[in-house]
Structures are given as C-alpha cells and as structure tokens.
Amino acid sequence: MKAQHLSTQEVCLFLGISLSTFYRYCKRGLLKPSFFTSGGHRRFDLHTIKQAFNIDNSAELVVCYSRVSSHDQKKDLATQENKLLDYAQSLNLSTNKKIVSINDLGSGLNYKKKGLKQLISLILVGKVQTLILNHKDRLLRFGSEIIFSLCKHMKVNVIVLEAKKEITFEEELSSDVIELMTVFCAKLYGKRSHKNKAISLNNTLPMWYFYAIIPNYEQKRRYY
C-alpha cells in the first residue's frame, strides 16, 4: 500500500492540535518530516505518526456535520447538532468508534469554512467511517456531490437524515438565485462598511496628524 503523507495543516487536524503544539512536538522530536517538497514544505508519514502517538488504526470517527448561514441562526445550529448527536448515539456503535461534532457558521457558497476543511482532511486521511448530515445542502449549496464522491472513494458511509422535499424547477432556481444574491450583497455591504469606517476614522483624526504625515498637506487640501 502506498504511504500517505500529510502537510503541516493536515497533521494538526489529524492530531487535533494547534500550530504552536505542532512546532513543540517537532522540537521534541515527536514529529519528524519524511521529506521536503521542492518548495521546502515538510511532509509527514501518516503511519509513523500513528505509531508515535499510539493511534489505533482501527479507530474510526462518526462525524456529525452541521452548518448555518448567519449568527442569528446560532440557535438552529445547536438544534441541528443535538439532533445529529442523538441519532449517532442511537446507532449502538462499537467501542472503536468515536462520535465527533463539526459545525460551521457561514454561507453554503463558502468553500473555505474551517469546519468543512477539517472534515475533508479527516476524510482524506481515512479517519471517517460515517458522515451524518441533517440535509445534503448543509455541506455546500453547490458542489456537495464532490464531497459525496470523495466519501464514496474513501468508503465513508453518508447518512442524510432529512431528504430534501420535492420542489419545482422554478422554486429551486429561485432559491439558488436568492442564495447567490445574499452572498454578493453581504460582500458588497461589507466592503462599503470597511470604506465607511476608514472615512469615519479620517474625519475623527486631529488636523495636526495630517500635517505631520502628509507633505504639503495644506496645498493638497485646498486642491481637493
């Protein structure tokens, strides 16, 4: 079987440690890179890590993944998480199975959510045995099929508790357009908010500050 090598970030996700702990383990000799890439990045052998930290190869995770789009839905996030955990605990898992919960707060169009990246890394290193979702679109609004294909390749069992109700093509299209517009509007308003903060700061700074840091400020001020 071909050896599997992990990047620094993947090692941190696999062991559940912070970057500072990772560097401390490297300094103590607990983590030693197998080789360096052409760009100078370290790669670590997965089998060696499991041996060093006494990780049982047969131990597998049952991952409950939940997501909501905004902060005002935090209550819904807790409801999702509890529902998934209750279902996972009802499966009568063997002793070598561990239930973990991963949740995200962000748009279904955001492919860089921390929890989603953690989930993908765990699947890639072969630690996930079962993935439990409330809805299919909790992973991603568009492109969840890619994650499901990855799960199939890595022999991960996927359980979706609530199948999406049957809707017309027009309803689905409208829902997708609204989702896209919501994300783009949030980005636009966020950019404007950042600009307004800069303008507000500019208006509150004392005049001597501009004279001190901007050459010929008086002339430029009259010009503008």
Q: Rounded distance, CA 129 to CA 111, Å?
A: 23
Q: Which residue has the higher pLDDT, 215 or 11?
A: 11
User: Taking a C-beta distance cutoff of 8 angstroms, is the pair 64, 81 a contact?
Assistant: yes
pLDDT tens, position by position, 172-206: 667 667 666 765 666 666 555 555 555 554 555 45
pLDDT at residue 167, as a whole number: 65
What pLDDT was estimated at residue 41? 92
Residues 40 and 131 in one domain: no
Shared domain for 42 and 72, answered yes or no, is no
For 192, the domain range is 169-223
Of 108, 131, 160, the position where a domain reaches its end is 160
What tens digit of pLDDT does each residue of 21-52 get?
A: 999 999 999 999 999 999 999 999 988 888 88
Q: End of a domain among 137, 160, 183?
A: 160
Band (pLDDT 50/70/90 cuts) for residue 137 is confident
Is residue 152 located within the same domain as residue 190? no
More confident position, 75 or 223 = 75
Q: How far apart are CA 178 and CA 168, in angstroms?
A: 16
43 with 73, same domain: the answer is no
Q: Do residues 175 and 142 both lie within one domain?
A: no
Of residues 44 and 57, more confidence is placed in 44
48 and 112 inside one domain = no
Do 128 and 200 belong to one domain? no
Q: Are 69 and 38 found together in one domain?
A: no
Which pLDDT belongs to residue 65?
94
- Which carries the bigger pLDDT value, residue 171 or residue 135? 135
Same structural domain, 122 and 198 = no
- Return the CATH number at 143: 3.40.50.1390
As a whole number, the mean pLDDT across the chain is 77
CATH number at residue 38: 1.10.1660.10
Give per-residue pLDDT as tens, 145-168.
Answer: 888 999 998 889 999 998 666 667
176 and 142 in one domain? no
> Per residue in 59-98, pLDDT tens?
578 999 999 887 788 888 899 999 999 999 888 777 668 8
Q: What is the pLDDT of residue 122?
A: 85
Residue where a domain terminates, one of 13, 31, 52: 52
Residues 129 and 204 in one domain: no
156 and 107, same structural domain? yes
Report the number of distinct structural domains present in the chain.
3
